Amino acid sequence: MAARQAGGTGGRRGAQPRQPAPKGRAAPAAKGRAAPAAKGRAAPAAKGRSTSVAKGRSTSVARGRGAPDRSSRQFASRGAGRTGRTVATGEERRKPEKTLGGEQVEGRQAVRELLIAGKRKVREVWVATDLLEGESASDIVTDIVEIARSVRAPVQEVNRKRLEATARSEAPQGVIAFAAPLIETEFAELLKRRPGRAPFLVAVDGVTDPGNLGAILRCCDGAGVGGVVLPRHRAVHITPTVAKAAAGAVEHVPIALVGGLPAALARVKEAGIWVIGLDDGADRGLFEIGDLAVEGVCLVLGAEGAGLSRLVRERCDVVVSIPMFGRLSSLNVSAAAALATYEIARQRR
């Protein structure tokens, strides 16, 4: 009896015997969680969170794909979740070209020069229907149609009323072309010196009349000017009226836009180019510049009425005027541009 009690006491104080595992099941590894071998899956990392394998997101090996080739090109997108062109790592993205406008060209001569130059794609050419009927068709209109077809630019006959309603200039002359925009020339390119030819530039200080700017560009092309500099702000750029007044010169004269003309003229002087301002209040005459015209020159034209601004005038090396022998004190800016550019061209011959 005593021995039985001793044995019972020892059984209660000693280690409890393990309960046998239920038939057909493995013993649980922890409360509420099955052992890894129970369901054939890896044990979860933490309660409520599973590894990428448990969620169906496995590594490339688990999906049947080998490890990624480190030697292959890696591509980086512009942003997470964005679509678009991917760029190879280390590859520089191409900067978009700066444009000047000029997508709509009006006037017979302007459209003809656009087609002949071939520097930009012409999407379509409109010709008024009455210009192609019978004897009313002029030689230049016939020439425009033939050139357009030769360069595979679509030609469409359009009712005169519809054409004039689309036009943005006063007199489109029955012809409108729709083309890619003009490409802006980098200012630094205009400052580069080329063998056997001294730089000849024209800077326009705040001209806002499109007819005047077009006439200036036409003069610059005729006098052999190498480039025109326009302020980006408070000045007119390439519009249908400018292109028409220029009579096609916008296709041939390089044009650069600058943030501020005074700072741009400072760079011109650093490049060793003389800056000559044209202003009716100057004491020195245009025809007295002499051998200075043979050097690298940048001619600066002032705005209508106001002339050269103070900061621009201060950046000029020389300021000259056109002598006036009548009662008026000055010429129109486009007429002054014609005289000044051709005088410099004459000195260089």
Q: Is the distance from CB of 320 to CB of 285 less than 8 angstroms?
A: yes
Instruction: Name the β-bridge partners of 320.
Output: 278, 284
Which two three-digit tokens encode residue 303?
């705005």
Neighbouring C-beta atoms of residue 183, cutoff 10 Å: 15
* Cα pseudo-dihedral 254, 213, 102, 201, rounded to 10: 10
Q: Contacts for 286-289 with beta carbons within 8 Å, 24 or more apart?
A: 286/320, 286/321, 286/322, 286/323, 286/339, 286/340, 286/343, 287/323, 287/343, 288/320, 289/318, 289/320, 289/343, 289/344, 289/347
Tell me the pLDDT of the chain (349 aa) as tens digits: 344 444 444 444 444 445 454 444 444 444 444 444 444 444 444 444 444 434 444 444 344 444 445 444 444 444 444 455 555 555 456 566 788 899 999 999 999 999 999 999 999 999 999 888 766 668 899 999 999 999 999 999 999 999 999 999 988 999 999 999 999 999 999 999 888 889 999 999 989 999 999 999 999 999 999 999 999 988 889 999 999 999 999 999 999 999 999 999 999 999 999 999 999 888 899 999 988 999 999 999 998 777 899 999 999 999 999 999 999 988 999 999 999 999 999 999 8
Domains of the chain: 99-181 (3.30.1330.30), 184-348 (3.40.1280.10)
3-class SS of residue 30: strand
Greatest CA span in the chain, whole angstroms? 150
